[in-house]
């Protein structure tokens, strides 16, 4: 893998090639991680100079070369001890203290995670384990095994099996929905790029085959005009909060629709950021189910005008239970970030560099308005496809050098830089999908990479 950090060691080569992690696993030594760790500690105490962090990291590398013979394999703790020594000897006391505290906190986190499948954002453990078990059964639960399939004919079967499994889960979800005889509103909720739109369409198709009529209401058209949103210091809009939607208008329209009235709904243009009110008539029949997909479908104020017994709340998350080269589970949010980067670039006129720069808003809103309400869902659904990382590599890897260059020296965008670096490292480790045309036209993945049969 190429060196991802802007920092790189001097012409003097470093003597160690591997380090031993706390779990006993040997991994490749990455000098750039030293500069990143020092920079993060400095940021936490108000420092902003990436260059100083890189200079200190170079001193650590010098100490490593003095302390170890060629081919030695020190532990991560030994390297971190050297970092602390360099910080203290250089009179960077506050940064050293922050670094020490960070090590202690990370140790506590690791103790909690030992012997557990990765669990995030209030999703039930049973569902997470089910996703991991499926990947193990199909020999794609690590980057190494996924790459092995991509280098052989096995990738075709993985694509077919992944698609079949997803569609089978859709059918099961539709069956559960049909058990509610009073149902008038079906809500598909979940974080950004979890697959809500396509899954909503497919559930609607399944309901139709079962003889149940439905109609889809797109809440994206209820966004407030973009000019009504305040800008932050970076000039970005925060439109990830439920309050970016006209909640009163949504509830009034839902209440009228449930009563059988015809309403005139708005239309929002993402390219201009403008909403046109009363743009189209919309009516739900007496026996029809109204389908909506929304980031904030579980947020009570979004549908407060509809009685609880008339609602079915369906939550979707991209539970990508795959381990990276170092044995860590890939973060679900990183898969969704890749999806959104791809989709934004062709569907919403938003370049991948800006998508990563904006992602901290996405996570902030998810943690505030989505994650706390997962327990309110009637059903939780896995919207990931195990093979799709290999597809995202083909589409997005080339964008990351520019992203790292743009955000690497800006302390105010450190979050974007470290996130981009982590995801770029993942893409570097992957083998790309051999033939993108093999992805079915009705695949969930087409919502993000384009070229599908559904209209978004």
Residue 8 belongs to a domain: no
- Domains of the chain: total: 2
Determine contact, residues 102/40, Cβ cutoff 8 Å: yes
The total of other beta-carbon atoms located within 10 Å of residue 358's CB is: 19
* pLDDT for res 232: 60
- pTM score of the predicted model: 0.78
Q: Judge if 27 and 61 occupy the same domain.
A: yes
* pLDDT for res 231: 63
Q: Judge if 311 and 249 occupy the same domain.
A: yes
d(CA 298, CA 302) in angstroms, rounded, equals: 8
* pLDDT for res 2: 37
Over the range 394-431, which residues count as b (16 or more CB within 10 Å of their CB) and which as e?
A: bbbbebbeebbebbbeeeebbebbbbbbbbbbbbebbb
Q: Judge if 236 and 349 occupy the same domain.
A: yes
Residue 1 belongs to a domain: no
Query: Residue 124's Cα: distance from chain center in Å?
Result: 18
Q: Which of 113, 134, 153 is the last residue of a domain?
A: 113
Q: Judge if 335 and 376 occupy the same domain.
A: yes
d(CA 239, CA 229) in angstroms, rounded, equals: 8
Q: Judge if 238 and 315 occupy the same domain.
A: yes
Which domain range does residue 237 map to?
125-449
Q: How many CA within 13 A on the CB side of residue 368?
A: 10
Residue 118 belongs to a domain: no
Q: Which of 113, 146, 169 is the last residue of a domain?
A: 113
- pLDDT tens-place string over residues 56-96: 999 999 998 888 888 888 888 889 889 999 999 999 988 88
Q: Judge if 222 and 337 occupy the same domain.
A: yes
- pLDDT tens-place string over residues 351-398: 899 999 989 888 988 988 898 999 889 999 999 999 999 999 998 999
Q: Judge if 202 and 180 occupy the same domain.
A: yes
Q: Judge if 131 and 247 occupy the same domain.
A: yes
Q: Judge if 130 and 74 occupy the same domain.
A: no
d(CA 128, CA 321) in angstroms, rounded, equals: 8
Q: Judge if 333 and 421 occupy the same domain.
A: yes
What is the average per-residue pLDDT within 109-123? 58
| 68 vs 114, more confident | 68
Q: Judge if 106 and 146 occupy the same domain.
A: no
Residue 137 belongs to a domain: yes
């Amino acid at each position: 893998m190429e060196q991802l950090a802007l920092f790189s060691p001097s012409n003097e080569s470093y003597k160690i090639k591997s380090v031993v992690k706390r779990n006993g696993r040997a991994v490749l030594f990455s000098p750039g991680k030293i500069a990143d760790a020092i920079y993060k500690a400095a940021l936490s105490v108000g420092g902003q100079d990436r260059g100083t962090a890189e200079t200190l990291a170079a001193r650590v590398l010098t100490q490593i070369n003095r302390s170890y013979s060629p081919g030695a394999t020190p532990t991560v703790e030994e390297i971190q001890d050297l970092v602390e020594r360099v910080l203290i000897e250089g009179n960077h006391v506050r940064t050293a203290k922050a670094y020490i505290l960070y090590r202690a906190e990370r140790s506590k986190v690791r103790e909690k995670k030992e012997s557990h499948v990765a669990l995030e954002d209030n999703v039930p453990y049973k569902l997470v384990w089910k996703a991991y078990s499926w990947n193990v059964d199909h020999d794609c639960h690590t980057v190494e095994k996924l790459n092995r399939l991509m280098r052989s004919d096995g990738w075709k079967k993985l694509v077919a099996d992944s698609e079949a499994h997803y569609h089978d889960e859709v059918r099961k979800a539709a069956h559960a929905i049909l058990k509610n005889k009073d149902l008038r509103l079906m809500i598909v909720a979940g974080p950004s790029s979890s697959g809500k739109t396509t899954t909503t369409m497919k559930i609607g198709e399944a309901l139709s085959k079962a003889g149940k009529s439905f109609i889809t209401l797109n809440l994206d058209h209820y966004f407030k005009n973009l000019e009504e949103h305040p800008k932050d210091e970076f000039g970005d809009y925060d439109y990830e909060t439920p309050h970016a939607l006209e909640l009163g208008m949504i509830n009034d329209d839902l209440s009228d629709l449930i009563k059988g009235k015809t309403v005139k709904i708005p239309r929002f243009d993402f390219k201009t950021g403008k909403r046109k009110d009363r743009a189209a008539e919309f009516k739900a029949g007496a026996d029809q189910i109204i389908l909506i997909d929304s980031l904030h479908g579980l947020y009570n104020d979004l549908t407060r005008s509809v009685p609880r017994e008339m609602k079915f709340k369906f939550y979707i998350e991209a539970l990508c239970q795959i381990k990276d080269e170092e044995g860590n589970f890939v973060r679900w949010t990183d898969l969704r970030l890749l999806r959104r980067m791809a989709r934004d670039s062709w569907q919403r006129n938003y370049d991948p560099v800006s998508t990563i720069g904006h992602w901290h808003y996405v996570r902030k809103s998810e943690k505030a308005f989505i994650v706390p309400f997962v327990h309110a869902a009637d059903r939780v659904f896995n919207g990931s496809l195990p093979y799709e990382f290999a597809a995202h590599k083909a589409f997005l890897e080339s964008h990351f050098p520019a992203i790292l260059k743009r955000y690497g020296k800006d302390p105010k965008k450190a979050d974007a830089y470290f996130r981009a670096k982590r995801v770029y490292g993942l893409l570097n480790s992957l083998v790309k999908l051999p033939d993108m045309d093999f992805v079915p036209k009705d695949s969930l993945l087409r919502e993000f990479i384009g070229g599908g049969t559904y209209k978004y």
